[in-house]
Amino acid sequence: MSVTLVVVSFVAGSIPFGWLVARARGVDIQARGSGNIGAANVARTVGLRLGLLVLVLDALKGALPLVLATRSGLSSESALGVLHVAGAAAVVGHVFTPWLRFRGGKGVATSLGVCLVLAPAATVLAVLAFGVVFAARRVVSLAALVAATMLPVAGWGVGRSRGEVVFLGALALFVVARHHENLARLRAGRERPIA
């Protein structure tokens, strides 16, 4: 069951909803804007409403396999490591989707779905941090980077176990690493806000 969960999580995570939604509107999202298949590029390229749809779908593909697993009994302390691996598999599937020659998104929305299941209180705090930064600056990447950095800190603050905080920290580092181009643009003052 553990191996099946990890495989199902990877396959679910690999579904390129951003590409599919944009393609339904006749847009090759990988050839527009940043070329990323994530919700932010969809919002800039195809429209805010469809960007929000992709955000929800990408979060759900991270969350649903874990929800089904916990309802099947994989929520005990001994199974937590399996849930962490499955959650990471969903994020990796999104970032390196085999359906698009391993060119996927940056993992923010899928990580959101995973963390809402595994560490809901810490995730809510990180989402609040995202909201504050985005409201002030209107720059999605900056808000995402702040939220990712906040995640393990919030996990420690709400009393999650050491292993869970390490998992949240590793996920945050992965998301930050995927934003290396955004970091370069932020330093240069060239990162484009969403109006």
Q: Which residues span the domain enclosing 78?
A: 1-100
- Regarding predicted confidence, which is higher, 78 or 168? 168
At 75, is the pLDDT very low, low, confident or very high (cuts 50, 70, 90)? low
User: Do residue 96 and residue 181 come from a single domain?
Assistant: no
pLDDT tens sequence across 120-174 = 999 999 999 999 999 999 999 999 999 999 999 999 999 999 999 999 999 999 9
DSSP string, 127-150: HHHHHHHHHHH--HHHHHHHHHHH
Beta strands in the chain (DSSP E): none
Residues 32 and 15 sit within 8 Å (Cβ to Cβ) = no
Asked if residue 84 has pLDDT above 80, the reply is: yes
How many Cα neighbours within 13 Å face the side chain of 128?
Answer: 7
| Domain limit, last residue, from 73, 100, 127 | 100
Mean pLDDT over each residue of the chain, to the nearest integer: 94
Asked if residue 180 has pLDDT above 80, the reply is: yes
User: Do residue 12 and residue 91 come from a single domain?
Assistant: yes
Q: What share of the chain is helix, strand, coil (3-state, %, to 5)?
A: 75, 0, 25
Give the total number of structural domains in the chain: 2
Please state, in angstroms and rounded to a whole number, the distance separating the CA atoms of residues 22 and 170: 30
pLDDT for the residue numbered 78: 62
